[in-house]
Amino acid sequence: MDGHAISMLGTGLISDFYTNTLHGQRGRDRVRVVYSRSDARGQAFRERWDIPESTTELAAAIEHPETDVVVVALPNFLHEEAVGLAARAGKAVLCTKPLGRTAEEARRMLDMVESAGVFGGYLEDLCYTPKTLKAVKAVQDGAIGDVTWVRSRETHPGPHSAWFWDGRLTGGGAIIDLGCHCIEIVRNFVGKGNRPVEVLCHTDTLVHPIADEDNAIALIKFESGAIGQFEVSWTFRGGMDLRDEVAGTHGTIWMNHFLRTGFEMFTAGGGGGYVAEKAETSAGWLFPVGDEVSELGYVDMFSDMFRAIDEGRAPQETFYDGYVVNAVMDACYRSAKAGAWAPIEVDWRGGTTERIAATPERFDGQVVIKREILPDGRHKLILKDEASGDFSDRVVAGA
C-alpha cells in the first residue's frame, strides 16, 4: 500500500517522537529528508531513524522533489516561515503546536494554506490520545449528558530545551507551551461548534527566574454555558501530570494519561535508563507509561492526518483549530493582565450551540432538586416550590 514521503523539519525531542511514531509498528509512511540548522544533529537524526537524507537548507527540505508532506517540528518562531514555504511548494503541511505565537501569526498561517489550497493539519497530539478519542465519542453518544465543566491539566518541572523558556521565541510561558493542549482538549469535549466567548485567567511566576509565567489557570466560558478550565505549570514536582476531567449533567469522565496508568515499578536503583518523558527520578517508585507515542496520541494523530489527506477531507485538528487556540491564549494573556474576564476575539466559523439542558424532574407539583438514597434504603427528595422559593424534604419509599 502506498504511503507518504515526508520532509521532517527539526531534530528536537518532538521530531524524535514524530519519527518514532511514523517509522514505528507497520507504518507505510516514511521520512524522506530531515532538516536541521546543525549538520551534525541532522546527520545523527538521519542515522537514528534510518532516513535517506538530511540538509541544513530549510527550503531544500521543504521542496524536496520526492516528498508530498511537510512536518513542521521547529521552535514556534520558525513556524510561519516554514508553513509559507510549504504552502508555496503546494505540499500538505502538518504543523506542531502551538500553531503561532499569537492569533495574528496563526491567522496568517491559516490564510497561507487556504489561499494555496494545500492541506493544513494541526499536530495537537493530546486530542488524539486513545482515551481522549474514546471519551469524546462517549460524550457525543450522550453517556454523561450535557457537558458542564471540563478540566484539563498539564504540568511538569519545565521544558527540556532552552528556547522554550524564552518568551521572545515562543510567545509566552507555560500557557503557550502547555495551555494550547488543554484548550483544544476542552474544545473537543464541549464541541468544536461551541463558541469560546470569554476567559478569566491568572498567570504567575512562582519559582523560576524567568520573565514569563511558570504557572497559570484559566476559565473559558463557552456559548452553551459550559466552562473549560485549564491548569498548567512548569514547577510541578514528580514527573509529568496529564489529567483531563469532564463533568456532565449525567456523568463524569476522569482520564490520567501519564503518571497513573496502571504501571508501577519500585527499584532500589541500578537498572538505569529512561523511564518516561519528564521523569524526575530513576529509583524508588516509578510510573512508566506503556507505549508513549500511542498513549500520548501521536499514533492516532498521524493516522488521522494521512487518512484525511488520502480521503480529501479535513483532519480532526486543522489550522483553523490552531488559530482558535491562539485566539483563546491571546485572551488569556489579556485577562491575566487586566485581572478580569476578557473577550475572545476570533473569526468564528463554528455556528451556534444551545444552552446546557436543564429540565428538572417534577414530583407532586414541585421541582425535584435532588434524589438521595438514605442509609435505610428509602429515597429522600429535596423539593422546591417555585412560587415561594421555599425548599422542603420529602422521604419516600425506595425506587
Q: Which residues contact residue 61 at a Cβ distance below 8 angstroms, ignoring those fewer than 6 apart? A: 7, 8, 9, 33, 34, 35, 55, 70
| C-alpha span between 223 and 240 (Å, rounded) | 32
* Residue 247: strand pairing partners: 149, 252
- The SS3 of residue 321 is helix
Q: Is 384 in the site for its own copies (CB under 8 A)?
A: yes
Work out how close the CB of 365 gets to its own copies at its nearest, in angstroms, rounded to a whole number. 14
Question: Of the ranges 75-83, 107-115, 156-164, 178-186, which one interacts with its own copies (CB under 8 A)?
Answer: 156-164
Q: Is 309 in the site for its own copies (CB under 8 A)?
A: no
| C-alpha span between 371 and 377 (Å, rounded) | 12
Q: Is 88 in the site for its own copies (CB under 8 A)?
A: no
Closer residue to its own copies, CB minimum distance, 45 or 323:
45
- Residue reference for cell 488521522: 304
Closer residue to its own copies, CB minimum distance, 119 or 320:
119
Amino acid identity of 29? D
- The SS3 of residue 187 is helix
Work out how close the CB of 313 gets to its own copies at its nearest, in angstroms, rounded to a whole number. 16
Site for its own copies, residues 168 to 187, rule: CB under 8 A: none
Residues that bind its own copies (rule: CB under 8 A) add up to a total of 125
* 164 CB-side CA count, 13 A: 17
Question: Of the ranges 47-55, 102-110, 119-127, 289-297, which one interacts with its own copies (CB under 8 A)?
Answer: 289-297
Amino acid identity of 364? D
Indicate which single residue of 18, 302, 320, 323 sits in contact with its own copies (rule: CB under 8 A).
302
The secondary structure element, H or E, covering residue 111 is: helix 103-116
- The SS3 of residue 342 is strand
Work out how close the CB of 366 gets to its own copies at its nearest, in angstroms, rounded to a whole number. 11
Work out how close the CB of 302 gets to its own copies at its nearest, in angstroms, rounded to a whole number. 7
> Of the candidates 160, 15, 13, which has an alpha carbon nearest to the alpha carbon of residue 73?
15
Question: Of the ranges 43-51, 52-60, 174-182, 286-294, which one interacts with its own copies (CB under 8 A)?
Answer: 286-294
Q: Is 188 in the site for its own copies (CB under 8 A)?
A: no
| C-alpha span between 330 and 319 (Å, rounded) | 16
Work out how close the CB of 178 gets to its own copies at its nearest, in angstroms, rounded to a whole number. 15
CA distances from residue 331 to 40, 50, 109, 110, 351 in whole angstroms, order as listed: 40, 43, 19, 19, 20
Closer residue to its own copies, CB minimum distance, 60 or 396:
396
- For the chain, the first-to-last Cα distance in angstroms comes to 58
Q: Is 197 in the site for its own copies (CB under 8 A)?
A: no
Indicate which single residue of 65, 115, 117, 273 sits in contact with its own copies (rule: CB under 8 A).
273
> Of the candidates 74, 55, 71, which has an alpha carbon nearest to the alpha carbon of residue 5?
71
Within 10 Å of residue 112's Cβ, how many Cβ atoms? 20
Work out how close the CB of 338 gets to its own copies at its nearest, in angstroms, rounded to a whole number. 8
Q: Is 269 in the site for its own copies (CB under 8 A)?
A: yes
Contact 332, 363 (CB under 8 A): no
Q: Is 117 in the site for its own copies (CB under 8 A)?
A: no
- Residue reference for cell 524508588: 284
Exposed/middle/buried for 361, CB within 10 Å: 0-12, 13-18, 19+?
Answer: exposed
Indicate which single residue of 130, 350, 353, 379 sits in contact with its own copies (rule: CB under 8 A).
130
Closer residue to its own copies, CB minimum distance, 59 or 133:
133
Site for its own copies, residues 198 to 227, rule: CB under 8 A: 200, 202, 204, 206-211, 215, 217, 219, 225-227
Q: Is 264 in the site for its own copies (CB under 8 A)?
A: yes
Work out how close the CB of 290 gets to its own copies at its nearest, in angstroms, rounded to a whole number. 3
Work out how close the CB of 68 gets to its own copies at its nearest, in angstroms, rounded to a whole number. 15
Q: Which cell numbers in the block locate residue 205? A: 511566576
Q: Is 261 in the site for its own copies (CB under 8 A)?
A: yes
Closer residue to its own copies, CB minimum distance, 39 or 385:
385
Work out how close the CB of 168 gets to its own copies at its nearest, in angstroms, rounded to a whole number. 8
Site for its own copies, residues 24 to 83, rule: CB under 8 A: 24-30
